[in-house]
Structure formats: structure tokens, C-alpha cells
Amino acid sequence: MDNKIVLPEDALKKLSDTLSKVDIVLSPEQMEKLLSYYELLVERNRVMNLTAITEFDEVAVRHYADSLIPLSIDGISEMFSNPEGTILDLGTGAGFPGLPLAIALPDVQVTLADALQKRTNFLEEVKNALSLDNVTIVNGRAEELGRIPEYRESFDIVVSRAVAEYRVLCEYCLPFVKVNGIFAAWKGPAAPEEIKNAEKALDILGGNNPEIKKYILPDTAETRVVVITNKRESTAEKYPRRAGIPSKRPL
């Protein structure tokens, strides 16, 4: 391709500096994989809608640092780093936060699920290009996958970023979480209000009192949060409801 993606000359240093601001240190091999991922992302984004963020510095901050933030937050970093753990990224889109987590945590099994075939095809391409043996790609809607025994209550951690309102996310995600596992949702400043609106949903679905972990996105003044919810008991078999209902009629 004549207009091949060209990384900035100082891309490796820029990425390292950005990640260091959130106390993330990766090996040279892991850093190279993130750079290769960026090249594939921007190249494929020319022919399909994967992300509105393509400038390297912005991707480093808003996709990579943001995705990896749980690895430096006290109280949850240990959960994510458990080598015997399993992570599901539901509604992963172009692979965030799941793919950066899989690159940073090569001993952890990470499953990436998305309803759009063209996105899961892209993720398969990235997985193969970067030799990510700890990654599994699944195509399907949350409402359907959540009823499959192979996936239901099978994951230690379920993550989701920028997918839906929190109470809707609870119905999508909690059915996949093992009892005593956690659901981690990346949210913005409206998180406290969204959590308040989700009290009924949490009670119905088996979630415990959510805990808000705040952080500042590097090189910005933006406050973000990861909402950590413990799964206290098994989710009733009737949830998730059929496709489209959770978003149209939230619990």
C-alpha cells in the first residue's frame, strides 16, 4: 500500500512516557506489539469505522493508557494480574480495553466479544499478526452469548468501555461473571448518577455495591472512573432478556 501508516520517529518514547504517567511499565516486546496494533488499527480504519481517534498521541492516551489503567489502581491491579484469571471484554469494538490488557497480561486468558462481524474479523487479524496466544475472539450479541453455558458465569473479570448506560451494562455483563468475580465498567463523570439508577438492576442480577475508582487521563484534565462491581450471587436464568430489550426497557 503506497500510503502505508508511518509511526512518529519517537513513537516508542512517546508511548512509554504516556504509560509511565499512569505507572504502567511494559517490556520492549509488549511496546512493539502496541505499536503494531496501532498501525493495523489506523490502516484498517481507512476502510471500516473502527475508531474516531487515529492520531498517535491521542491513541496512546485515550485508548492505550485508558485501557491499561486498572493495572495501576490499588485494590484492583492484583485482580487483573492473576495469571490464573480469565477476562471477557464485552462489546470490545476495535479491541479496547481487551487487547491492550491481553498484550500487557500475556499469562491471562482474554476473550474479546463483539456483535459486528467486521470488527471481530479485524480482531482476528490483530491476534494473528501479534501472535496473541492468550486471546479468543467471539462474534455475537451479549443477550445471546450470555445464555450459552460455555460463557455464562465463566469469567473472573468482565470489562466494558463506552458501551451503554451502567444499568444496561449490568444486564449485559453480570451474567458472564463468576460468583465472587468482578465487573469493571469504564465510565465518565456521570457514573455516580448512573450507579444510583442501577440499584434495582444490581439487586436483580446479583451485583454488590459498586466501587468507583477515579483517575485522571494523562496529558488532560479529564477525570474518568472504573466502576468495580462484585458478583455476590448467581444471576437468574431469565437474564439477560432477549436481544434489544435491556436497552429499550432497562431494569
> Measuring CA to CA, which residue among 127, 126, 132 is closest to residue 105?
132
Residues of the chain with pLDDT under 50: 1-2
Question: What per-residue confidence (pLDDT) applies to 196?
Answer: 94
Q: Count of residues for the chain?
A: 251
Residue 69 phi, psi dihedral angles, 5° rounding: -55, -35
Q: Are strands 86-90 and 109-114 parallel, antiparallel or unpaired?
A: parallel
Share of the chain above pLDDT 70, in %: 98
Q: Which single residue is written with the C-alpha cell 436481544? A: 243
All structural domains of the chain: 73-248 (3.40.50.150)
Amino acid in the structure at residue 243 = A
- What does the CA dihedral 166, 206, 99, 96 come to, rounded to 10 degrees? 0
Question: What per-residue confidence (pLDDT) applies to 1?
Answer: 43
The order of strands in the sheet holding 211-216 is 135-139, 109-114, 86-90, 155-161, 177-187, 223-230, 211-216
CA atoms within 13 A on the CB side of 190: 8
Note whether 132 and 102 are within 8 A (CB).
Answer: yes
Q: Are strands 177-187 and 223-230 parallel, antiparallel or unpaired?
A: antiparallel
Question: What per-residue confidence (pLDDT) applies to 9?
Answer: 84
Q: Which single residue is written with the C-alpha cell 436483580? A: 204
